Amino acid sequence: MQRPLNKNDFLFPGLASTGRLKIGTPVTRADIERMLEFFVAGGDVLGTRKGKFTTHCFRRGGAQWCFMWQPGPKWSLKAVKWWGGWAQSESVGTLTRYLLDELCKYEYGYSDMLMPSRTYERHITFMGDVGSQQREPDHPSKLSHPLSIAAPHHTTPSGSISGSMYLSNSVAPYPSPTPSSIFDSPQGLSGALASHSFSYSLSRTGCHRTLKESRKKVGKVHSKSKPPTLSESAATAAPPAPTTLDPSRLRIPDTHSLDDCIRFWEQGDERRGVPLALKLWPTTFKPAAYRSEAVKWGKIKNVMHEFKEICHSDHDEFETEYPGLSNQYAKLCKAISIARKARGELQERPRKKQRN
């Protein structure tokens, strides 16, 4: 503009088709979309995908990120309403309800439990209180004498007594007095230590004799019992509990190639929503239970019949029979239907008579 701004000037003026600024006219939504399409086309973001970007993802997706996932301070509902007010054909109430529904779904769901970037402290600690859950590890003091008693350490943040009393390395430690028993004792800390430590009259020879006898007993036990073999452990292992699947909720994902058909049919794909192999559906469920997926199931069954029965599970023979169609599922299904009609395996339904 090469001049100071006037009161009637817009910070974001309109753009003409030639790319020049239209002074005195505000920028429109269509201008922004044209710029976005220009940037997307120049950067080849979409590539071979069909379609184009719209500002819907900026209006709704940006607000959702700032409201739920943005590191640090997040947007308030007031900011969300302000954001929705700028969007054309976007109801502020609809946007607010959408974000609240999404927030509620994530709050009561478990989709972010294994995502470090979206893990909140309230998921791993009680009420988000990290300090109260952490305790410093106990560090036993060094012994100056094999039978000397180590004094407990007062190192915990809460002031409770930690540490344990133990004898030499060859003698198993005795249980240390609990904080409640120490403070409830009328003699105090020294009396509690005396009652717990010197009530056991042990000599060095007695301790070593006891350890030797215990080691002999343990040795006998270990000599009698042999570790189970792999077959024995597998035989004694409890079988896994059967999982119950609701066939009405099973959905066959989009199929794109012959490899997808083989994977879905033979072993399933739990990651893509097929926890049970498709070939087991008729023996596991009633046909009416997966009625909504019957068409997809039937097409994959026809492809697998053609691959296993006609082409004898030979990829080269299948490629010869249907050249270039292994990765074009829709065309492959049509070609198989034509081949089945030619062999007399598929009969067309009689058409309904047209009324005059």
pLDDT at 58: 61
- 270 and 319 within one domain: yes
d(CA 236, CA 212): 35
Residue 324 domain flag? yes
Widest distance between CA atoms in the chain: 115
Are 251 and 322 part of one and the same domain?
A: yes
Question: Residue 25: which H helix or E strand, with range?
Answer: strand 21-26
What distance in Å separates the CA atoms of residue 7 and residue 51, rounded to the nearest whole number? 41
Looking at the domain assignment, is residue 159 inside a domain? yes
| Residue 265 belongs to a domain | yes
For residues 333 and 264, membership in a common domain is answered with yes
Please name the residue that has the structure tokens 């879905």.
Answer: 264
Q: Note the pTM of the prediction, 2 decimals.
A: 0.34
Residues 248 and 288 sit within 8 Å (Cβ to Cβ)? no
Residue 13, in any domain of the structure = no
Q: Are residues 173 and 109 in the same domain?
A: no
- Using H for helix, E for strand and C for coil, what is the string for 252-304? CCCCCCHHHHHHHHHCCEHHHCECCCHHHHHHHCCHHHHHHHHHHHHHHHHHH
Q: Which of the listed residues 70, 101, 122 is the one where a domain comes to its end?
A: 122
Q: What is the DSSP letter of 55?
A: T
> What's the whole-number mean pLDDT along residues 101-130?
59
What's the Cα-to-Cα distance from 323 to each of 224, 315, 341, rounded to whole Å? 66, 11, 19
Cβ 94 vs Cβ 68: under 8 Å: no
pLDDT band of 350, cuts 50, 70, 90: low
Summarised one tens digit per residue, pLDDT across range 234-274 is 334 333 334 567 777 788 888 989 999 999 999 888 887 78
The reply to whether 333 and 252 lie within a common domain is yes
Asked if the model's pLDDT at residue 127 lies above 50, the reply is no
- Least confident range of 22-31, 43-52, 284-293: 43-52
CA distance 331 to 325: 7
Asked if 320 and 326 count as a contact pair (C-beta separation under 8 A), the reply is no
Q: How far is CA 26 from CA 29, 81, 318, in A?
A: 10, 22, 62
Confirm if 23 and 5 have CB atoms less than 8 A apart.
Answer: no
Distance between CA atoms of 53 and 184, rounded to whole angstroms? 73
Classify burial at 336, counting beta carbons within 10 Å of its beta carbon; exposed 0-12, middle 13-18, buried 19 or more.
Answer: buried
In three-state secondary structure terms, 153 is: strand
Domain range for 187 is 151-197
**130-183 pLDDT per residue, tens:** 444 444 444 444 444 444 444 444 444 444 444 444 444 444 444 444 444 444
pLDDT attached to residue 147? 44
Find the Cα–Cα–Cα–Cα dihedral 330, 334, 339, 344, rounded to 10°: 130
Q: Is residue 1's pLDDT more than 80?
A: no
Residue at 252 is within a domain: yes
Asked whether residue 325 falls in the same domain as residue 266, the answer is yes
Identify whether 191 is part of a domain: yes
Domain boundary among 197, 229, 257: 197
Residues whose CB is less than 8 angstroms from the CB of residue 340 and which lie 6 or more positions away in sequence, other chains included? 302, 346
Indicate if 176 and 112 belong to the same structural domain: no
The 10s digit of each residue's pLDDT in 210-221 is 444 544 444 444
∠ CA(210), CA(196), CA(209), 5° rounding? 10
Helix axes 258-266, 294-305, angle to 10 degrees: 100
301 in a structural domain: yes
Domain boundary among 122, 143, 177: 122
Nearest to 237 by CA among 224, 226, 228, 246: 228
Q: Does residue 226 belong to any structural domain of this protein?
A: no
Reduced to 3 states (helix: H, G, I; strand: E, B; else coil), residue 217 is helix
- Specify the 3-state DSSP secondary structure of 186: coil
* Number of domains comprising the chain: 3
What is the token pair recorded at 39?
A: 């940037």
Average pLDDT over residues 298-318: 91
Angle at 324 between CA 320 and CA 326, to 5 degrees: 90
Task: Specify whether 159 is located in the same domain as 103.
Answer: no
The yes-or-no verdict on residue 197 having pLDDT over 90 is no
Q: In 10 A of CB 175, how many CB atoms?
A: 9
Same domain, 105 and 161: no
Residue with tokens 């995502």: 115
Is the predicted pLDDT of residue 85 greater than 70, yes or no?
Answer: no
Percentage of residues in the chain with pLDDT exceeding 90?
12
141 neighbors 152 (Cβ within 8 angstroms): no
Label residue 50 by pLDDT band (50, 70, 90).
low
pLDDT, position 95:
72
